[in-house]
């Protein structure tokens, strides 16, 4: 049975005051997540240092993330951010041999390019896959870049600038044919669509909790395929990456036998409370139903933008887009500010205003956005 999305809207107080279309930047705050923050504060006041409970929260986040991704908990590292996870992974890779190439796309968030470029002094050779004339990156462009020297294909799932979704299964097939590993940056996708890392056949996946996962900043995850864990030993490490955290051993680095070896220091305790609550809420709704709703809402928004003569640059095909509709503007910053004056919360990147939908949005939110855009078209649409 489909979730009662109208009833679920009541769990996000901001929706009573704003048209909130900014989940691709930072999600709306759910009552359950607010209560989780308050529970942490109560623990601090009443107990003080409640380490057993805090570690349990961290492990709960690991387990819930594994459920979300259709993985197992031992394949999940709970990280401080995507950057922390990718830096740990990069430190475990060897670029001194023949397979020294890392292929990235021109759709990447800065982190997933900068970190690999930072490996160039270690021998990494970074190759960018460019867009085609229509603004999308087709498989043939990846085929030209991926070869027998490629160690890793590090790609975004959904582009943060334009909402375009790459053909991940096709890219994985190309990588497999050349013996390369695949890293999926799914930050702009996870929680807005259903993601099965086993079906996608990716080797690594990274994301965070502050966007579609309904949590907060300062906490993320790194999925590592079980068959690679033992062979990858990060040089970025810390006491929570050790096989026995309680050993307090200063004589050696003894990494955990599971993906926890990609972690570092003390967990972000309060963030674990929020992330756990957000993940539980999201999983109760169900990502297949969320995916279906987000495609319907983005499709409606894009159709209405066409009708007012201000089309989005986001691909119209469901298989080529995520939950963000990107609209070009001659001054996207001022346009976003004008929308905010009308209580419509968006964000802007790379010359586009971004309307990012989630399951708690509805058709009225889309129509409020369209009405405002129609009114502002003369001042802000592309010349």
DSSP 359-376: TT--HHHHHHHHHHHHHH
49 and 10 fall within a common domain: no
State the residue range of the domain holding 72.
Answer: 34-283
In tens, the pLDDT along 285-312 reads 999 999 999 999 999 999 999 999 999 9
> Are residue 297 and residue 214 in the same domain, yes or no?
no
Mean pLDDT (whole number) for 46-59: 94
- Model confidence over 145-190: pLDDT tens digits? 999 999 999 999 999 999 999 999 999 999 999 999 999 999 999 9
What lies within 8 Å, CB to CB, of 216 at 6+ separation is: 33, 209, 210, 271, 274, 275, 278
pLDDT at 373 exceeding the cut of 90: yes
CB 264 within 8 A of CB 80: yes
- Tell whether 25 and 103 lie within a shared domain: no
Same domain, 202 and 337: no
Q: What is the mean pLDDT of residues 84-90?
A: 98
Residues 6+ positions from 311 with CB-CB distance below 8 Å: 302, 305, 327
Q: Are residues 11 and 121 in the same domain?
A: no
Q: Which of 283, 300, 315 is the C-terminal boundary of a domain? A: 283
- 291: which 2 tokens? 């995916």
- Shared-domain flag, residues 81 and 22: no
Q: How many CB atoms lie within 10 A of CB 10?
A: 12
The dihedrals phi and psi of 343, each to the nearest 5 degrees, come to: 65, 30
Q: Is the dihedral of CA 9, 14, 18, 21 positive or negative?
A: negative
Instruction: Give the pLDDT score at 257.
Output: 98
Picking from 275, 263, 229, the residue whose alpha carbon sits closest to that of residue 61 is: 275
User: In degrees rounded to 5, what are phi and psi of residue 3?
Assistant: -60, 155
Residue matched to tokens 């993330």: 65
| CA triple 344-345-350, angle to 5 deg | 120
CA pair distance 282, 156, nearest whole angstrom: 22
pLDDT of residue 139: 98
Same domain, 255 and 137: yes
d(CA 38, CA 47): 14
pTM strictly above 0.85 = yes
Residues 191 and 326 occupy one common structural domain: no
- Please state at what angle helix 31-46 crosses helix 269-285, rounded to 10 degrees: 150
Q: Which among 283, 300, 329 is the end of a domain?
A: 283
Question: How many Å apart are CA 109 and CA 206, to the nearest integer?
Answer: 12
Q: Is 169 in the same domain as 181?
A: yes
80-96: buried (b, 16+ CB within 10 Å) or exposed (e) per residue?
Answer: bbbbbbbbbbbbbbebe
Please check the confidence at residue 383 and state whether its pLDDT lies above 90.
no
Kindly tell me if the per-residue pLDDT of 1 is higher than 90: no
Residues 247 and 310 in one domain: no
How far apart, in whole angstroms, are the C-alpha atoms of residue 20 and residue 239? 40
- Give me the number of domains the chain comprises: 2
What SS3 class is residue 382?
Answer: coil
Do both 225 and 279 map to the same domain? yes
Closest CA to 64 of 323, 279, 371, 340: 279
- Residue that has been written with the tokens 């592309």 in this structure: 382
Detail the DSSP E strand segments found in the chain: 19-20, 76-79, 101-105, 125-129, 150-156, 181-185, 204-208, 220-224, 324-328, 344-345, 347-349, 352-356
In the chain, the percentage of residues whose pLDDT exceeds 90 is 99
* CATH code of 257's domain: 3.40.640.10
CATH number where 316 lies: 3.90.1150.10
3-state helix, strand, coil in the chain (%, to 5): 45, 15, 40
Decide which of 283, 304, 329 is a domain's last residue. Answer: 283
For residues 244 and 300, membership in a common domain is answered with no
In sequence order, which residues have a C-beta less than 8 Å from that of residue 361 and are 6 or more positions away?
20, 21, 297
């Amino acid at each position: 049975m489909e979730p009662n999305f109208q009833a679920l809207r009541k769990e996000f107080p901001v929706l009573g005051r704003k048209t909130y279309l900014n989940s691709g930047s930072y999600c709306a705050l759910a009552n359950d997540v607010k209560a989780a923050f308050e529970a942490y504060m109560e623990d601090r006041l009443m107990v003080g240092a409640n380490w057993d409970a805090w570690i349990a929260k961290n492990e709960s986040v690991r387990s819930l993330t594994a459920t979300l991704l259709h993985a197992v908990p031992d394949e999940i590292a709970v990280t401080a951010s995507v950057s922390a996870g990718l830096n740990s992974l990069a430190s475990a890779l060897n670029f001194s041999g023949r397979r020294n190439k890392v292929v990235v796309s021109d759709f990447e968030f800065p982190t997933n390019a900068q970190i690999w470029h930072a490996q160039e002094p270690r021998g990494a050779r970074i190759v960018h896959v460019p867009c085609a004339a229509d603004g999308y990156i087709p498989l043939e462009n990846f085929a030209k870049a991926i070869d027998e020297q490629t160690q890793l294909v590090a790609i975004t799932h959904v582009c943060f600038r334009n909402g375009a979704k790459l053909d991940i299964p096709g890219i994985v097939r190309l990588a497999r044919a050349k013996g390369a590993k695949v890293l999926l940056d799914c930050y702009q996708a996870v929680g807005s669509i259903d993601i099965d890392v086993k079906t996608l056949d990716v080797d690594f996946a990274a994301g965070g909790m502050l966007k579609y996962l309904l949590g907060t900043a300062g906490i993320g995850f790194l999925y590592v395929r079980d068959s690679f864990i033992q062979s990858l030993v990060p040089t970025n490490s810390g006491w929570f990456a050790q096989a026995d955290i309680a050993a307090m051993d200063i004589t050696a680095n003894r990494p955990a036998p599971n993906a926890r070896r990609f972690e570092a220091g003390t967990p972000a305790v309060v963030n674990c409370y929020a992330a756990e609550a957000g993940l539980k809420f999201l999983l109760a709704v169900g990502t297949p139903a969320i995916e279906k709703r987000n495609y319907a809402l983005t499709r409606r928004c894009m159709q209405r933008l066409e009708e007012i003569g201000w089309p989005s640059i986001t691909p119209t095909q469901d298989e080529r887009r995520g939950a963000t509709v990107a609209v070009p503007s001659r001054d996207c910053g001022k346009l976003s500010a004008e929308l905010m004056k009308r209580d419509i919360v968006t964000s802007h990147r790379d010359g586009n205003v971004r309307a990012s939908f989630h399951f708690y949005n509805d058709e009225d939110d889309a129509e409020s956005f369209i009405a405002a855009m129609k009114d502002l078209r003369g001042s802000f649409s592309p010349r």
